[in-house]
Amino acid sequence: MYLGKIFSTQLLDNQIKDNMSFILENTLHLFTLISGLTISPEDLIDSVIAMGVIINLPERFKTTMEVWLGKCKVEKTYPSLDDTWEVMRNFLQRDENNHNPNNQALIASKTNSNTKQYHQQKRKPKGDYPKCAPGWHNPLTRHDKSEFNFLKRDKNKKRSQKPIKSLIASTNKPNYNSIILDLGATTSMFNNPKIFTKISKLTQTIELADGSTILASRTGTVRIKLSHCFLDLSDCLLVENLLYNIISLGQILKPNYKLTSYKNKTFQLLDQNSNLIIKGSFECGNFEFNTENKRALTTVSHSNQSLTLNQATGHPSPEYLKKMFPKANVQSFLCNSCNLCKITKCPFKRSFPLPQ
């Protein structure tokens, strides 16, 4: 401030005395201020020269220099000549770019290109490329842009209910033995009604991977026989046109379960005790495994009937159960109560006292 007053004072012939008094007064204030500073003499001279340059700059530099001096005041630093020249050079560069028509056209072109690219990326579909999505044509595809209109959905079409999504589905000839663990399915779906132990009528819309829909006609409980155990699943859907049986991976995964793969060829699903639950192959990004056989699947309902008879008649052995119900189709079954008794039972006595 004092330097500004000193350097901006003009010595006029008729006011030399007053002008010199004014300069001496401001110089005294400046010396008083400098005496309390810790800046070195070299830096002080550099700062004084920088202030002289700033004061004598053209009017168009005024706003930029005021902002920079305000920043120096906040940071408690002194303006140097090098910093002053750096600020001036940046200002001149910006001013030149703003007045150059070619640069303005380039900036406008980049802005429009970035805006267009942003909107295109925002509308791009998820998944592998190249492919089109409803309302968006991928230029990398081989077909013409006019051919993708069939992908557009009818916005006025109302759906009665939210469809259940399945990532792996088809309407070709069903495969009854192959089962795929699907990360994208919200529920398990099967194409064979014979593996349902409990079943009831239902009408549910299923959305396939290609965007089309089919109907599920039944819902119920499924028991799948594997080589080492049975797998029971509830709230499953019957979709007879489904190419593969689909099990929702989220439906069978529990805390501390492990899904491991070996060289991206085979996989194993283990429980919290490292017991094997499912073992299969890793094909084309899908976890696929096969059931034990068709016959094992068709006898599940008979096995349930045998278990019911066993529990209702006091848990006899399968041999005695066949003698008690000769017309019933008694199949092998798994009864937890019978297994517990076999482990803990004691020998029977040779004779029993008759009731009095």
pLDDT band per the 50, 70, 90 thresholds, residue 292: low
Query: Of residues 14 and 90, which shows the higher confidence score?
Result: 90
pLDDT mean over 85-100: 78
Residue-wise DSSP of 237-301: EE-TT-SSEEEEHHHH--TT-EEEEETTTEEEEE-TT--EEEEEEEETTEEEEE-S-HHHHHTHH
Omega of the bond leading into 130 within 30 degrees of 0 (cis): yes
User: Other CB atoms closer than 10 Å to residue 289's CB: what's the count?
Assistant: 21
Of residues 179 and 208, the one with the higher pLDDT is 179
Residue 168's pLDDT band, with cuts at 50, 70 and 90, is: very low
Q: How confident is the model at residue 50 (pLDDT cuts 50, 70, 90)?
A: confident
Where helices occur in the chain by DSSP H, the ranges are 2-8, 16-35, 41-55, 62-75, 81-98, 101-123, 249-252, 294-298, 300-312, 318-324, 336-344
Average pLDDT over residues 135-156: 58
pLDDT at residue number 66? 81
Exposure string for 229-238, b = 16+ CB within 10 A, e = fewer: eeeebeebbb
Q: What count of residues does the chain have? A: 356
* Burial of residue 57, with CB atoms counted within 10 A of its CB: 0-12 exposed, 13-18 middle, 19 or more buried: middle
Mean pLDDT score of the chain:
70
Q: Is the pLDDT of residue 88 over 80?
A: yes
Burial 147-166 (b: 16+ CB within 10 A, else e): ebeeeeeeeeeeeeeeebeb
Assess whether pLDDT exceeds 80 at residue 163: no
pLDDT at residue 29, rounded to an integer: 66
Instruction: Say whether pLDDT at 120 is over 50.
Output: yes
Q: How would residue 38 be classed by pLDDT, with cut points 50, 70 and 90?
A: low
Please tell me the distance from the alpha carbon of residue 193 to that of residue 236, in angstroms, as a whole number: 11
Does residue 351 surpass a pLDDT of 70? no
Per-residue pLDDT for 3 more than 60?
yes
pLDDT at residue 27 tops 70: yes
Q: For 3-22, what is the mean pLDDT?
A: 71
> In the prediction, which pLDDT does 135 show?
58
**Averaged pLDDT for residues 128-140:** 64
| pLDDT of 109 over the 70 cut | no
Banded model confidence at residue 273, pLDDT cuts 50, 70, 90: confident
> Average pLDDT of 81-103?
77
338, 276, 337, 307: which is closest to 197 by C-alpha? 307
Query: What digits encode the pLDDT tens for the residues 329-345?
Result: 776 666 766 766 665 55
Secondary structure element (H or E) that encloses residue 234, with its range? strand 230-238
Q: pLDDT tens digits for 209-267?
A: 667 777 888 889 988 877 667 778 888 888 887 777 888 877 777 777 887 877 667 88
pLDDT single digits (tens) 171-207: 456 667 788 887 767 788 888 888 888 888 888 887 7
The pLDDT of residue 280? 82
Percent of the chain scoring above 70 in pLDDT: 57
